[in-house]
Amino acid sequence: MVEKDQNVNEELVTEKVLTRRPFSIPLKNYSKKTSKRLGIFFKHKIPYAESELKSWVRSFRGGIILLCLFLVTLIPLLLNSIVYFHVFIIAMVYAIYAASWDLLSGVTGQVSFGHAAFFGLGGYMCAAFVKFLGFHWFPSIIIGGALGVLFGLIIAIPSLRLKGPYLALGSLAFSLLMWRLFSMESLRFLFFGSEGIRNVAFLQSLTLREKLITEFILALIIMIVCITIMLVVYNSKLGTIFKGIRDDEYATEAAGINVTRYKLLAFCISAFFAGIAGSIYMLHRGNVKPDIFMSLYSFYPIIMVVVGGISTISGAAFGAYFFYVLNEIITQLCSDFLPSNLQLIFSNIATLFFAIILLVVVRFTERGLMEPAIKRSKDLWDLLRGK
Amino acid sequence: MGVILQIKNLTKRFGGLTAVNDVSFEINRGSLVGLIGPNGAGKTTLFNLISGFEKSNTGSIMFDGVNVTRFSTHKRVKYGITRTFQIVRPLHRLTCLDNVIVGCMSPRGKARSEDIGVDKLASTILASVGLIDKARIPPIILPFGDLKKLEIARALASNPELLLLDEPFSGLSHEEQMIIIELIKQLNYEGYTIIIAGHVLRELMALVPRVLVMNQGKLIADGPPKEVVNIKTVIEAYLGRGGN
Amino acid sequence: MSIISILVYGAALGCVLAVLAVGFSLVYGVGGIINLSHGAYYILTAYIVFWFINANIVAYPIAIIIGLSLIALLGIVTYLALIKPIQHNEIGVMIVTFALAFLIEQAILVYEGSKPEEIKDISLIPFAKGQINIFGTQIDAQYIVIMIAAVIILSCLILFIKKSRIGKAIRAVSQDKDAAKLMGINVNLILMFVLTLSAVLAGFAAILYVSVSPIYPNYGWEYLLISMSVVLLGGLGSLPGSVIGAFIISFSRFICFYLVDIPYNVAYSGIIYLAVIIIMLIFRPCGILGKKERT
């Protein structure tokens, strides 16, 4: 023990009061009561959100996001064309899906190359509950998400309790396994076979236009809720822990965080929202087929997030809209202008093109395209305002 | 006071290499102990074993009466053992404040912050190591001395009993070293038990009342610095700069 | 069918998978790189060889050389253009190789046209004809050729790594990159070499096996995952383990095929390796021969 009359720097002593090890907290306070566990989620998250909300809205970034949200709500309603509703509904589905991937892979650093598994499982579970068990669609969406998480844990728990790129391997294997299992005719009784689940009734009593508008509004509301939740998590202390895990798993563990538990938490949130996105997708299309597990659907969130800005959540939504709308525009142009024999391979050319974009963006940028774009816009805005 | 850490016959082998060889010692609560030895003596491995980054082959670690030998790292932090890294590991994309907040989110850190809130606790810890003006800055652009301080701050955030500081002075200028030494003195004054693994002997020997010496995995000396430096085996082992 | 069939087919596939997986394991063991386009290298080589043969431009041996050279070139380009610039970013490397794999798959689909699932006419490859009688069962002689070729390739590889200077350098880099650098080894060159080598090995595996087994563009993921399962089984970074793992995977596939698939008319053998991945992750992620990871 250092003797008291040794030369102790006075400056450092000022804050002594609060940093002094006190009343040695007895270990029994660390019991794992559920309320204390949920405490991390609620205690720090909600107060933070309330006070930050106002300033966020006023910030440039918040303003841009809200503006875009306003536009994407308005455009289809104004144009009032069925095609636009259809496109924007699916874009919203991808926004939720991409944001969910970003939360796990970008923010927490656990890259998943088989996110389609949770997307598809959500769709299948929701379809099964709606069609075969007669549930109302709303709880079915939630159940779709929840069951996607449950089955996803089969691969998540073994992968995440290890430190290293195991989830990347495991998720890829899991999604391929899902694709195989759900395509197998021999397992039709359990996995519905290559036909999937068809004719899922959703808002059947409405006309096509009414149905689309309703779907659009529902998807919009669900998307706003989901992404808001993810943004709140991102900005909360929980998000800080996730980002710490991404930066250095070992250092975060050394700081006392149970890294495995938090990785699993990130996974559960991510898979849940991916499942919800899959459920909405299924409800919109009215059916779900095994091809939803193909690697293409795992590719989509990756390119959307990478372009939109990895580890930003809102960037995922931007990227999703950007890509999906771009995809649709190109498809439309091609079906208008290309001869029919080329159209068949068109979708492959488009995907090829997107793969090249992904390659280039990952190779040359750290933060995706949206972040620099927003920064440039902000600088311009400040310039215009005369700063 | 009493014994807080009891190491018995701790051994760690990596293939053919025995990094830590049958090491035993006791540390009293509130004491300040140095751990010295040439490069490769096994100091960092010993720290890894005590903090849970490696699991020992044989031997036991008793902390505060609890057998923590098989516990994972974060569980040991829950019981009060934390460590810093010789090569600093800041969470590079977070701010300094967030780095400390991560530590405050551990079970003990959270319990400690119940009355004043995590942000305030983290700020106070940053202030106590002298980094408060850098709270919103990411560690990437900080000088090395500040990164060492950040390591200590993050370790403090989880409200530990025992601090294992792995080479907290290495690579620092003389002034920066003095600052860290003052910090360590103050922490020990407040009651933290601290083990410092190090090389820079002059300052370390002046600082600690007791020193453990390792060489090639074995503990070869244990006592006050003035006695230890005169032991033949210690002199024979490579002592590094500034020996006597 | 007979035990002989299982043994021969299993051994042949095992040899092929060993060649394929060793490449993947090398890249991870030496460079810490997970090359998600490894499976794409496999199918690309196969398709290149097919395209040249189909177009009747060159003879088969030349087509092989062209195929392997092109894939080696792709390996070099992959390393220099894609991996090396972002090698500090592990996640980025995985995404970039994933994108490359996707790109290759789509490129093949574009070139192939509207029916991506055509079964390739494997009789175009003029390999060993006829059948051999082994202990009473008729086996295509091709399988024996495959095994012999694979054994030769693997032996050359082992000799190369053990005896040559580059091999020594490779081993040095795999143990400690920074120390190797300090010793004057050009680590980047070695990593590029290893990646190219793994691409060529994948190409060899493709050329060998495609003579007896059809190929589809989306098989790339299959072979990537098979490589991963073999390497997980054998332990990430352990070459002998990969060989053992390859045989475990291949034999389990064929045993399942004969014992389960045929009698019950199902297709489980195709997903056995996926179950292996999940089981290995749960129970023994360091693999059968691998070293235990640090906590």
The rounded distance, in Å, linking the Cα atoms of C205 and C223 is 10
Instruction: Decide: residue C284, CB within 10 A, 0-12 exposed, 13-18 middle, 19+ buried.
Output: middle
Dist. CA A247–CA A301, nearest whole Å: 21
Of A163, A187, A363, the CB nearest to C293: A163
Which of the residue ranges A56-65, A116-125, C101-110, C166-175 has the most confident prediction, judged by mean pLDDT?
A116-125
Interchain pair A254, B51: CB under 8 A:
yes
A24 touches B: beta carbon within 8 Å = yes
Q: Residues B188-199: pLDDT tens digits?
A: 988 899 999 987
pTM above 0.90, yes or no: no
Distance from the Cα of C175 to chain B's closest Cα (Å) equals 14
Q: What is the dihedral of CA C191, C195, C198, C199, to 10 degrees?
A: -160
**What pLDDT, on the 0 to 100 scale, is given for residue A248?**
92
What's the mean pLDDT in B1-26? 89
Interface contact flag, B52 C295, Cβ < 8 Å: yes
Q: How confident is the model at residue C18 (pLDDT cuts 50, 70, 90)?
A: very high
The greatest distance separating any two alpha carbons of chain B, rounded to the nearest whole angstrom, comes to 53
Type of residue found at C123: S
The whole-number pLDDT of residue A278 equals 96
CB count in 10 Å sphere of residue C104: 22
Model confidence band, residue A340 (pLDDT cutoffs 50, 70, 90): low
Comparison of pLDDT for B154 and A384, the residue scoring more: B154
Which structure tokens are listed for B215?
């060489």
More confident residue, A5 or C252: C252
**pLDDT by residue (tens digit) across A231-244?**
999 999 999 999 99
Provide mean pLDDT across the span C271-279.
84
Residues paired with residue B58 on neighbouring β-strands, in sequence order? B11
Instruction: Pull the structure tokens for residue C61.
Output: 């041996």
- Class level of CATH domain B1-80+163-175+197-244: alpha beta
Domain boundaries, chain B: 1-80+163-175+197-244, 87-160
Q: Which helix (H) or strand (E) holds C33?
A: none
The whole-number pLDDT of residue B90 equals: 94
Residue B233 above 80 pLDDT? no
Q: Hey, which residues 6-25 in chain B have their CB within 8 Å of chain A?
A: none
C-beta of residue A96 within 8 angstroms of C-beta of residue A304 = no
| Touching partners of A (3+ C-beta pairs < 8 Å) | B, C
**Angstrom distance (rounded) from CA B169 to CA B34:** 12
Q: Is the dihedral of CA C135, C136, C137, C143 positive or negative?
A: positive
Q: Which amino acid is at C178?
A: D
Of A20, A254, A256, the CB nearest to B107: A256
B52 has pLDDT over 70: yes
| Interface subset of B 56-95, CB within 8 angstroms of A | 72-75, 77-79, 82-83, 85, 89-94
**Mean pLDDT within A290-318:** 90
Sign of CA dihedral C133, C137, C138, C142: negative
Domains of chain C by residue range: 3-216
End-to-end alpha-carbon separation of chain C, Å?
Answer: 47
- Proportion of chain A above pLDDT 90, given as a percent: 39
Rounded to whole angstroms, the Cα distance separating C143 from A73 reads 62
- CA distances B48 to A276, B38, B41, B69, Å, are 43, 17, 13, 12
Compute how many other C-beta atoms are within 10 angstroms of the C-beta atom of residue C66.
17
C34·A352 Cβ contact <8 A: no
Q: What 3-state DSSP class applies to C188?
A: helix
| Tokens 């087509």 belong to residue | C63
- Assess whether pLDDT exceeds 50 at residue B103: yes
| Closest chain B residue to the Cα of C293, Cα to Cα | B54
Q: Dump strand ranges (E) for chain C.
A: 131-134, 137-140
**pLDDT for A188-202, tens place per residue?**
777 887 788 887 777
Q: Do C91 and A180 touch (CB under 8 A)?
A: no
Task: Return d(Cα C78, Cα C75) in angstroms, integer.
Answer: 5
Q: What are the C-alpha distances in Å from A87 to residues A81, A298, A374, B91?
A: 10, 19, 25, 40
Please report the pLDDT score of residue A332 as a whole number. Answer: 79
Beta bridge partners of B81: B162
pLDDT band at A366; cut points 50, 70, 90: low
> What are the φ/ψ torsions at residue B182 (nearest 5 degrees)?
-60, -45
Q: State the average pLDDT over residues A22-35.
A: 36
Q: pLDDT-derived band of residue A382, with 50, 70 and 90 as boundaries?
A: confident
C91-100, pLDDT tens digit by residue?
888 889 999 9
Chain A residues whose beta carbon lies within 8 Å of the beta carbon of residue C225: 169, 172-173, 176
Distance, CA of C200 to CA of C160 (rounded, Å): 15
Per-residue confidence band for B211, with pLDDT thresholds at 50, 70 and 90: very high
Q: CB contact, 8 Å: A256 with chain B?
A: yes
What integer best gives the mean pLDDT of chain B? 88
Give the whole-angstrom CA distance, residue C83 versus residue C87: 6
B205: phi then psi, degrees, rounded to nearest 5: -65, -30
Contact C220, C100 (CB under 8 A): no
Q: Does the pLDDT value for residue C250 go beyond 60?
A: yes
**C185 or B32: whose pLDDT is higher?**
B32
pLDDT for B40 equals: 80
Residue-wise DSSP of B201-225: HHHHHHH-SEEEEEETTEEEEEE-H
What pLDDT is attached to residue A245? 94
Mean pLDDT value across residues C111-122: 53
Contacts of residue B230, defined as CB under 8 A and 6 or more positions apart, other chains included, come to: none
**Average pLDDT estimate for C222-241:** 81
Does the structure show a pLDDT above 70 at A51? Answer: no
pLDDT at C272: 85
Quick one: pLDDT at residue A253? 94
Which residue on chain B is closest to C295 by alpha carbon?
B53
Average pLDDT score over chain C? 81
Task: With cut-offs at 50, 70 and 90, classify the pLDDT of residue A203.
Answer: confident
Q: Percent helix, strand, coil in chain C (nearest 5)? A: 75, 5, 25
What residues of B are in contact with residue C295 (Cβ under 8 Å)?
A: 52-55, 72-73
**Coil vs helix vs strand at C1:** coil
Please name every residue paired with B162 in a beta bridge, in sequence order, or none if there are none.
B81, B193
- What single letter denotes the amino acid at residue A319? G
Residue B177 contacts A where some CB pair is shorter than 8 Å:
no
Domain range annotation of chain A: 37-378
SS3 letters across B102-156: HHHCCHHHHHHCCCCCHHHHHHHHHHHHCCHHHCCCCHHHCCHHHHHHHHHHHHH
pLDDT at position A54 is 60
DSSP letter for each residue of C43-83: HHHHHHHHHHHHTT-S-HHHHHHHHHHHHHHHHHHIIIIII
Which chain B residues are closer than 8 Å to A22 by Cβ?
Answer: 112
The confidence score (pLDDT) of residue A32 equals: 37
* Chain A residues 257-316 with CB within 8 Å of chain B: 257-259
Residue C145: pLDDT over 70: yes
Whether A87 shows a pLDDT value over 90: the answer reads: no
Nearest to C161 by CA among C288, C67, C33, C22: C22
- Whether residue C294 lies within 8 A of chain B, CB to CB, comes out as yes
Among B86, B106, B187, most A C-beta atoms within 10 A, so best to mutate, is: B106
B174 at interface of A, judged by CB pairs closer than 8 A? no
Task: Read off the pLDDT of each residue in A342-361 and give the average, rounded to a whole number.
Answer: 79
Residue A129 has pLDDT above 80, yes or no: yes
Sign of the torsion formed by the C-alpha atoms of C261, C280, A265 and C92: negative
What's the pLDDT score for residue C134?
Answer: 66
- Taking all residues of chain A, what is their mean pLDDT, rounded to a whole number? 80
A214-222: average pLDDT: 91
Q: Cβ contacts (< 8 Å) between B55 and chain C: which residues?
A: 295
**HEC assignment per residue over A254-307:** HCCCCHHHHHHHHHHHHHHHHHHHHHHHHHHHCCECHHHHCHHHHHHHHHHHHH
Query: What's the CA angle centered on A193, arms A192 and A196, to 5 degrees?
Result: 65
Domain A37-378 architecture: Orthogonal Bundle (1.10)
